[in-house]
Amino acid sequence: MKKLAIAALMTTFALTGCATNNLANEKVMVVEGQPMKVKVVPISSFKVEIAPRKAICEVVNSAGDKVESECIQYRQAHQKNFNALNGSIQGFTYEPNYRYMLDVRQEAVADEASGVVRPVWILNDVISKVSEPTIVQ
């Protein structure tokens, strides 16, 4: 039985390697202020907190140029600082001045043209939505 389980696991790894052959499935993210390479993998459920205000960030436009934009800020429960999300969460509509707790899933989507696997976040559930006071300047 143990040998069967090991064989099934090895087959899964081999098939996964064939499915993503020649694709870069790593992404550089900033973790606690340090850039780190992380592997893009499907995750069925994880919780993120969404900040009540967006941050200025750099995104790549359709022409391939870096431009400034406003990005949603998120963090996971174990993180101290917020990170800018360069993209969106499918099925989620952001409203400023609300702090959200979301249950999301991540899918790894292969872009054959660029040879990159990129993460796509999809909303599972809005756990909470709390109004934050607005800052008048």
Residue 92: what pLDDT?
97
Any domain includes 65: yes
pLDDT single digits (tens) 4-57 = 333 333 333 333 443 444 444 555 555 556 665 656 678 889 999 999 999 998
Rg of the chain in Å (alpha carbons) = 18
Q: Residue 77 is part of which domain span?
A: 24-131
Any domain includes 14: no
| 55-59, 69-73, 91-95, 108-112: range with lowest mean pLDDT | 108-112
Name the amino acid, one letter, at 98: Y
Any domain includes 52: yes
Angle CA 123–106–50, to nearest 5? 50
State both tokens at 67: 């431009």
Kindly give the pairing relationship between strand 66-76 and strand 55-60.
antiparallel
Residue 99: what pLDDT?
96
Any domain includes 12: no
Sole residue written with tokens 């390697």: 17
Residue 62: what pLDDT?
74
Any domain includes 66: yes
Domain count within the chain: 1
- The DSSP output letter for 134 is P
Task: Give the highest mean pLDDT range of 32-41, 110-119, 122-131.
Answer: 122-131
Residue 114: what pLDDT?
67
Residue 95: what pLDDT?
96
Give the other-Cβ count within 10 Å of 49's Cβ.
17
Rounded Cα–Cα distance for residues 84 and 69 (Å):
11
Any domain includes 92: yes
Any domain includes 89: yes
Any domain includes 100: yes
Is 104:127 a contact under the CB 8 Å cutoff? Answer: no
Residue 122: what pLDDT?
95
